[in-house]
Structure 1
Amino acid sequence: MLEGLLVVELATVLAGPSVGQFLAELGARVVKVEPPAGDVTRSWHRAAENPDDTASYFSAANFGKESVVLDLRDTEAARAAKALAARADILIASFRPGHDARLGLDPETLLLENPGLIVATVSGYGRDSDRAGYDAVIQAESGFMAMNGYPDRPPVKLPVALMDVLAAHHLKEGILLALLDRQRTGKGRHVTISLLDAAVSALANQGSGTLRTGQPPVRMGSAHPNIAPYGTVLQCSDGESILLAVGSSRQFEAVCEALHVPVDAQWRTNAGRVRQRQQLESRLQAAAAGVASDTLMAGLEKCGVPAGRIRHAGDALARSPYMVLEPEGIRQWPAGFRELSPPPDLGAHTELVLAELTDLGGAAIARIIALNTPDA
């Protein structure tokens, strides 16, 4: 899809690099520019990981890329970065506000020098704020943590950097729209997203409910404020757990049929079920405790009730029909996606990329490599 396009990635952690990986999946060539110490996530190993191996966190967003090491504080290295930007179709950046302008890598300067360039930037709070904005902080300030967890316990952050992921998808969509516009006009543009904007836009029904009632969401565990039983987790006789996502009265009646629970008159409407949530869930749980999970799942599926087993991430990945991770890369992509190489070693492509994509001579490239290695 994007074969022949050059992407220069001046972004770290998860949001910006995820966009680079999306574009690599679609066929673009992605050159990741890193500082001498590398993207900070190269050091984010789980306790069970070998610290000498590529960190799984870094791997999550850096398949299919080439790594170039440039210390942008060095004049010649900064010139090399600008030369890459001049050749690029897309540039992804996550600079702190003002830092890009000091380097001459701000959107305005880049578009003057390369009018067809699409500059895609991601920040924590927007270009007008100099606050640092890691995902967990955005979860706290966007309302997500306040409504996540249980009412008798402190707020809990989500176990995935979801605000980074949401922002990455927003930015990817902006880039693809800008590419379509460039086909028509021949001109690039600046597209941008903040983690906070992405998070607030994802409040969805919780946001609209707050605006409608003036009451912010309360922590309810897995329960849904508008629907019941939705998010209800039933533990079966074999110890396995099944989650219900009942969205209609017909589906609720099917759950009762599968569990052999009489439908109480006060449960026949969603409003009644929401009011009587605790009693309802207790009745369903008592019935599920006497049924094996396979039997219950078969009954729910037969009746068309949305329900699923509680699986850990390893189970979910093993069952994915689309992706298989292997030491040499990713295999079994859907049609239209290309196979990706493994995450690159730090600086593995510096010499090759600078020789191919800049007008720097061999001596200048050798100097950059010497000055931009971690041991220099």
Structure 2
Amino acid sequence: MNGGALAGIRVVDLSRVLAGPYCAQLLGDHGAQVTKLEPVTGDLTRSWGPSRGDGVSAYYAGLNRNKEHLTADLASPEGRDLALRLLRDADVLVENFKPGTMERWGLGTEELLERFPRLVYCRISAFDGAGPMAGLPGYDAVIQAYTGIMDLNGEPDGPPLRVPMPVADLTTGLLAFAGVLLALHERARSGRGQCVDLSLEDGAMSLLHPAAANYFMTGEPPRRLGSAHPNIAPCDTFHSPAGELYVAAGSDRQFAVLVGFLGAPELARDPRFGTNADRLAHRHELNAALARLVAGLDPGVDLARALVTEGVPATLIRPLADVLDAPDAAERGMVTGLDGLRLLGVPIRLSRTPGSVRTPPRPLGADQAAVGAAST
């Protein structure tokens, strides 16, 4: 089996919880040798939610495969020495400590880049260093609230809601992964490493499309729309005899096909609904008409397949268990198993050097003896 696109790249993962470990896991999925150096008390996520009993919780398992697992107290001389020994041969460092912490330990960006000039130093913080919250800690839910994501999420007459997935952390982890690859690519030309600096705040703000674009153009603050779309109609959920149906007819042609399928082709000729702008202006009347038509559909019809076959983006809303247990999820490699754990797979598919899930998330310090001895 090939070693992956990043075979030969060595990563020291000092990060905890989510964005940093996710970035390091993505590097490991594609062949990098990742050594995770945890506090002696363990990554906080080892205690989050269901656990299999050896310190590997479900939350930890989803972010820490394809890594070697060591512990160190970086505030101690011994822990600092271990980190420096690992960094001697490392290409990438990932850390997400509170700003100033690494400097206090003598492991700050300037010190390490001077000592290891080829190192790509990936630094992730909660808030951007130039903002009023600079240097303060923050979790994903706090970032969602602070950056307006929660304000946009929810029903029009309901309160703001957190997006249930940690989108700020995951997005920042993906951006960190991309930033590390950019820095490694540039290093191949210059021979020099650099700092890759990210914050959850900026990562979350990068998700504010099209709300930000709409606000910049109109000056009108966005409103919560539930499952509807601010720029497209119809784009919403409708109750059908077979379940909740989500329809996103983004073009005039798709709308004409949709209402033809529903047995009401005259709606495409209705001046209230002739263009997307018309449909947005009369969104409530349109949704009421579509709701009546969808509610009367034959419950035996595979609505999602029938509509998509006709060119209308639509699907029944699937429960998560159905998504994860579907045979095609395993066939595509998006659900996989290792060491008795079910894990999500590798979404980036390379034809010659595909990523892979090779080693499971392990108990705290499981590789201490082997890796610690090798680094001396």
Letter of the 1:136 partner, please give it.
A
Deviation at 1:346?
A: 0.6
Cα pair distance change 1:67/1:293, threshold 3 Å: farther
Deviation at 1:87?
A: 2.0
**Alignment pair present for 1:268 and 2:279:** no
Deviation at 1:296?
A: 2.5
Cα pair distance change 1:115/1:293, threshold 3 Å: farther
Deviation at 1:308?
A: 1.6
For 1:282, the equivalent position in structure 2 comes to: 288
Cα pair distance change 1:346/1:111, threshold 3 Å: same
For 1:314, the equivalent position in structure 2 comes to: 321
**Alignment pair present for 1:349 and 2:367:** yes
- Deviation per CA, 1:73-114: give whole Å up to 9, x if none: 221111111221222110000010111101111111111111
Conservation of the 8 A alpha-carbon contact between 1:163 and 1:198: yes
Aligned pairs, how many? 354
For 1:234, the equivalent position in structure 2 comes to: 238
Report the TM-score when normalising by structure 2: 0.90
Letter of the 2:251 partner, please give it.
S
CA RMSD in angstroms comes to: 1.8
Deviation at 1:162?
A: 0.2
Deviation at 1:241?
A: 1.6
Deviation at 1:324?
A: 2.9
Give ranges in structure 2 of 5+ residues lacking alignment. none
- Deviation per CA, 1:162-183: give whole Å up to 9, x if none: 0011111111111101111111
Q: Which moved more, 1:325-334 or 1:26-35?
A: 325-334
Deviation at 1:354?
A: 1.5
For 1:45, the equivalent position in structure 2 comes to: 49
| Cα distance in 2 between the residues matched to 1:332 and 1:147 | 30
Give ranges in structure 1 of 5+ residues lacking alignment. 360-376
Letter of the 1:275 partner, please give it.
A
| Cα distance in 2 between the residues matched to 1:158 and 1:37 | 30
Report the TM-score when normalising by structure 1: 0.90
- Deviation per CA, 1:223-246: give whole Å up to 9, x if none: 11111111x1122113x1221111
For 1:325, the equivalent position in structure 2 comes to: 336
Find the residue that maps to 2:88 and give its secondary structure.
helix
For 1:70, the equivalent position in structure 2 comes to: 72
**Alignment pair present for 1:245 and 2:248:** yes
- Deviation per CA, 1:124-182: give whole Å up to 9, x if none: 11345221111111111111111110122110010010001111111111110111111
Deviation at 1:312?
A: 2.0
**Alignment pair present for 1:162 and 2:164:** no
Deviation at 1:293?
A: 6.5
| Cα distance in 2 between the residues matched to 1:198 and 1:182 | 24
Letter of the 1:56 partner, please give it.
A
Aligned identity (percent) is 38
| Cα distance in 2 between the residues matched to 1:74 and 1:331 | 36
**Alignment pair present for 1:144 and 2:162:** no
Deviation at 1:325?
A: 2.4
Letter of the 2:333 partner, please give it.
Y
| Cα distance in 2 between the residues matched to 1:280 and 1:39 | 51
